[in-house]
Amino acid sequence: CSVLSPWLCVTVPCPQRSGSKHTSTPADNYYLARRRTLQVVVSSLLTEAGFESAEKAAVETLTEMLQSYISEIGRSAKSYCEHTARTQPTLSDIVVTLVEMGFNVETLPAYAKRSQRMVITAPPVTNQPVTPKALTAGQNKPHPSHIPGHFPEFPDPHTYIKTPTYREPVSDYQVLREKAASQRRDVERALTRFMAKTGETQSLFKDDVSTFPLIAARPFTVPYLTALLPSELEMQQMEETDSSEQDDQTDTENLPLHMSTDDSGPEKENASVLQQNTSLSGSRNGEENMIDNPYLRPVKKPKIRRKK
């Protein structure tokens, strides 16, 4: 019987021990149960043939072949049936399939009548796990129309329904005004305390210095000086606008110098103001007063190149 079946002219690798799977889904269990049944069937056929024992690899090979054979018959019979514009396969489709696969159909009745026959029980049918009544919560969502009826139901709604946990922000006018006012007051307090901690303080109480610090008020000798002198920003703008006029610059420079000589002695504020003015032109005086506190140092502007 050297019949060559064309569908099997491939190299079938010997099935080895499959790697252990830690998780198996119900579909896998389903598949494995039937696979084991096929193995039992193969073993019974081998026993019928006269073998006492068999190699594991041989049994696996035959099981794999049996499974492939059944699947191939099914696929081929379905193809033949659809080839003639039908949907239900009939006996003729199967006969043609078997003939195409090299199977001698005539011998089948004789084989069926052989004496020793073994019957294997079918694998048990497991039902889908049903959540007990006590644990169900809420109504399951019904199937939409595009899902067939034999599909499993939707799970309980508590598994997928989301409830947001944020609250609506308060938009009451009165509450918002209060909030804004209290925030502003807190900011003022924090800033003044910071200034008191980092600068000079005066205290109202003789012994207790730290309880109610007040920022020290240092009177200017020439109070109107800061009002007369232009601020840094204005100086910068003046520099940029009249670029060719050197006289204006020297005038502005001379002004504070002249003013300072009038004073009894250069005070800290004056010196710092002078320092700011002269630093604009890019040069510094000899009498620099570096303030230790970095937060109270004057701002160092980047050197601006004058366009000529």
Partner 1 sequence: AAPVSAAVAAAPPEGAMSNGVYVPASAANGDVKPVVSTTPLVDFLMQLEDYTPTIPDAVTGYYLNRAGFEASDPRIIRLISLAAQKFISDIANDALQHCKMKGTASGSSRNKSKDKKYTLTMEDLTPALAEYGINVKKPHYFT
* Interacting residues with partner 1 between 69 and 128 (CB under 8 A): 69-75, 77-78, 88-89, 91-92, 94-95, 98, 103, 105-109, 111-112, 117-123, 125
Of 295, 297, 292, 258, nearest to 275 by C-alpha is: 297
42 binds partner 1 (CB under 8 A): yes
The residues in 2-41 that bind partner 1, with binding defined as CB under 8 A, are 2-6, 8-14, 16-17, 30, 34, 37-38, 41
Taking CB under 8 A as the binding criterion, the range among 65-73, 215-223, 246-254, 262-270 that sits at the site for partner 1 is: 65-73
- Distance from C-alpha of 126 to C-alpha of 32, rounded to nearest angstrom: 13
62 binds partner 1 (CB under 8 A): yes
Taking CB under 8 A as the binding criterion, the range among 63-71, 136-144, 190-198, 291-299 that sits at the site for partner 1 is: 63-71
Q: How far is the CB of 135 from partner 1 (least distance, A)?
A: 31
Our measurement of the distance from residue 297's CA atom to the centroid of its chain's CA atoms, rounded to an integer in Å, reads 45
238 binds partner 1 (CB under 8 A): no
- Which amino acid is residue 246, in one-letter code? Q
54 binds partner 1 (CB under 8 A): yes
Distance between first and last Cα of the chain: 109
284 binds partner 1 (CB under 8 A): no
- Distance from C-alpha of 191 to C-alpha of 22, rounded to nearest angstrom: 64
Of the pair 2, 139, the CB lying nearest partner 1 is at 2
Most distant CA atoms of the chain, gap in Å: 136
Of the pair 40, 215, the CB lying nearest partner 1 is at 40
- Distance from C-alpha of 302 to C-alpha of 236, rounded to nearest angstrom: 11
Q: How far is the CB of 71 from partner 1 (least distance, A)?
A: 5
Binding-site residue total for partner 1 (CB under 8 A)? 72
Of the pair 59, 274, the CB lying nearest partner 1 is at 59
Pair 110, 118: CB distance under 8 Å: no
> Phi, psi at residue 265, to the nearest 5°?
-160, 150
- Crossing angle between the packed helical segments 26-49 and 56-83, to the nearest 10 degrees: 110
